[in-house]
C-alpha cells in the first residue's frame, strides 16, 4: 500500500502542531513555528475558509499516515453511517490495525506500528494479519507473535506498559482486545472533524 516516505518533521511544521509523527516530540517542538521551505521564516498568510478546511484534512492524513484516495474512501463509508459523519470518520480511522497497535502502546509512532503489522508480527484472532488498514471489530483479539515479542523496543514497551490503552481497548502482556468501537471522546488529538466534512461536502 502506498504511503508517505518523506521527512515527517516538515509535515508537523507545515501544520504548526505536534502530530505524533516522531518518537522525540521535543526535537520537533523546537522548530514547529518555522514553516518548511526557503521562505518558511516569513509571516504566514491568513488562511481562507477553504484553506482552513484543507489544512484540517491534511492534518488528519498526516496523523494517520494515509493518502488522499484512502481518506476519500473512508469518508464515503462514514457518510453512510447514521451518526455524525465527522465522528464516524474518525472512528473508522481509529479502527485501523496499525493505529490500534499504536494505541496499545506497542510502538512509539503509527509508522513504527505500521511496520510491525506489515512485517507480519501481529495476529488477529489467532491468524496472521499483515494489512495495516485492516479494520478491527468488537471482540477482536490482537496479539504479538513470538518473533514480534523478541524485538527489543516492543518487548520493552510491553514490559513497561508505558502508554495506557484508551477505554475502548484492553491489553495485557502483548495481547489486546477491542472492547467496543471508539467514540469521539476517545481520541486525544485536536481535530476539527466538521471542517473535513465541509471540505468534502463542498
**Closest among 38, 56, 40 to 48, alpha carbons compared:** 56
Task: Give pLDDT tens digits for 159-175.
Answer: 876 567 899 999 888 89
- Is there a domain that residue 3 lies in? no
Same domain, residue pair 87 and 120: no
Predicted confidence at residue 21, as pLDDT, reads 62
- Report the residue count for the chain: 202
Predicted confidence at residue 23, as pLDDT, reads 55
Yes or no: say if 127 and 41 are a contact pair by the CB < 8 Å rule. Answer: no
Predicted confidence at residue 53, as pLDDT, reads 93
Residues with Cβ < 8 Å from 45, sequence gap 6 or more? none
Q: Which stretches of the chain score pLDDT less than 70?
A: 1-44, 161-163
Please indicate, yes or no, whether the overall pTM of this predicted structure exceeds 0.75: yes
Domain of residue 105, CATH code: 3.10.290.10
Q: Domain tally for the chain?
A: 2
Domain of residue 33, CATH code: 1.10.1050.10
Same domain, residue pair 134 and 152: yes
Residues with Cβ < 8 Å from 16, sequence gap 6 or more? 32, 33, 35
Domain range enclosing 60: 8-93+188-201
Predicted confidence at residue 44, as pLDDT, reads 63
Same domain, residue pair 116 and 176: yes
Amino acid at each position: 500500500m502506498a504511503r508517505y516516505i518523506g521527512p515527517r518533521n516538515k509535515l508537523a511544521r507545515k501544520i504548526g502542531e505536534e502530530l505524533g509523527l516522531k518518537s522525540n516530540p521535543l526535537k520537533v517542538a523546537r522548530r514547529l513555528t518555522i514553516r518548511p521551505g526557503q521562505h518558511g521564516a516569513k509571516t504566514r498568510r491568513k488562511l481562507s475558509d477553504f484553506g482552513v478546511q484543507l489544512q484540517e484534512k491534511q492534518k488528519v492524513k498526516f496523523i494517520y499516515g494515509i493518502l488522499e484516495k484512502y481518506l476519500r474512501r473512508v469518508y464515503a463509508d462514514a457518510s453512510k453511517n447514521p451518526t455524525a459523519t465527522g465522528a464516524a470518520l474518525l472512528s473508522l480511522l481509529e479502527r485501523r490495525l496499525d493505529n490500534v497497535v499504536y494505541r496499545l502502546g506497542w510502538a512509539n509512532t503509527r509508522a513504527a506500528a505500521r511496520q510491525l503489522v506489515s512485517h507480519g508480527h501481529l495476529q488477529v484472532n489467532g491468524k496472521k494479519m499483515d494489512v495495516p488498514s485492516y479494520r478491527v471489530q468488537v471482540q477482536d483479539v490482537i496479539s504479538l507473535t513470538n518473533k514480534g515479542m523478541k524485538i527489543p523496543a516492543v518487548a520493552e514497551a510491553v514490559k513497561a506498559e508505558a502508554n495506557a490503552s484508551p477505554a475502548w481497548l484492553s491489553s495485557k502482556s502483548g495481547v489486546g482486545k477491542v472492547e467496543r468501537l471508539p467514540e469521539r471522546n476517545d481520541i486525544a488529538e485536536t481535530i476539527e472533524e466538521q471542517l473535513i466534512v465541509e471540505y468534502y461536502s463542498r
